[in-house]
Amino acid sequence: MIRKAFVMKLLDNCYVEYKKRHDEIWPEMVKMLKEHGASNYSIFFDPSTHSLFGYLEIMDEEQWRKSAETLICQQWWTYMKEVMETNPDNSPVTISLQEVFFLK
């Protein structure tokens, strides 16, 4: 199992909409995430910085990388770009975090 953690950023005053969209996440998006090996996926919000902290577990980096190429993922990015910082391809600006401690 590979543990991944990352930080993203919401635009100001977009928390309620971001939360709503995830409360109503498309079933096709959930299916794609699971098909590409995602499990134990959580996103946390820090209101003082508008930062999102994501954590998920995957089985294979290459399989996970391919999730970004799916039509449903690209549609989700387009849907989410108005509430968070994004790259020119609409993917969220993401900073990967390096694990420094793990207690099993």
50 is catalytic: no
**Catalytic residue of the set 3, 20, 22, 65:** 22
* Residues in contact with 31: Cβ distance below 8 Å, sequence separation at least 6, in sequence order: none
Sign of torsion over alpha carbons 23, 54, 3, 89: positive
The SS3 call for residue 99 is coil
Catalytic residues: 22
